[in-house]
Amino acid sequence: MTTARDLTLIALGLPAGHSVEQGDLSLALAGAEAVDLLDHGALTLDGDRLVPGPPVETGDALLDQAAAALSPQEPYETVDAWLWRRGSELAAAYADDLKRAGLLTHRTGHGLHLPFSAATQTGSPADSPARRAAEERRTSGEPVLTALLVAAGVGDAPSDIPDSPLEDAVTTVLAAVGDAVTQLEAVRLRQGIEDAAFDNVWRGY
C-alpha cells in the first residue's frame, strides 16, 4: 500500500464526530504521492521544483498516474503548483479506488467529509490487512504519514522526520502541504465572511 492509500483508509475510518475536509485531504494526498514518487526514484527535487526521473512501475495505478502527470518541461513544476493541480478532487478518486478494490464497506455518515456527489457513495474501511497495516503505521508514529495526517486535520505534529537520503526533499514536500492547507483554510474563512455579509444584505441588516 502507498502512503496515499494509508492516508485515505485512516481518514475514512475516523470515528463518529470526526471528519476531514476533502480539500485538505486532497492536498495531503498529492503530497503523499510526491513523497512516494521520491522514494521510488521517479522524482527528485531541485529546490522546490519537481524533476521527473526515469519511468518507474510502482505497482499502484493511481501512483503510476501521478508519475505520468509530472510536468516534463523545464523549469518544471513547483511543489505548490503540483499540490493544487494534482490534488483536485484526489480524495474522492482514492475513495472510489478503495471501493472498487473492495476495501470499503457500507456508506457511513462520518470520516471523510465529501461535499460533492461522491459523498453518497463513500463507505467505511472494511477490516482488512490493508487497513490494519495503515493503522499500525499510524500508531507507530511514522513521521511522514503523521505529518500528512496533521496537515489534513488529524492528530498531533510529529517531533521529527526520519533520517534518510530524501530527508530534505521530504521536508520540502511536507512544508508545502502545510502551507497549501493553510491557504485553503484562509479561502474558506474569506468565503464564509463574504457569504455571511451577503445573507445580511438580504435580511436587511
Q: Which parts of the chain register pLDDT below 70? A: 16-17, 106-123, 156-166, 192-205
Q: Count the alpha carbons within 13 Å of 75 in the hemisphere toward its beta carbon.
A: 7
Calculate the average pLDDT of the chain: 84
DSSP state of 120: G
**Residue bearing cell 470515528:** 15
Pairing of β 19-21 and β 104-107: unpaired
The domain total for the chain is 1
Q: pLDDT tens, 24-77? A: 999 999 999 999 999 999 999 999 999 999 999 999 999 999 999 999 999 999
Full residue range of the structural domain in which residue 86 is found: 3-203
Contact 24, 151 (CB under 8 A): yes
Instruction: Output the pTM of the full model.
Output: 0.84
The length of the chain, given as a count of residues: 205
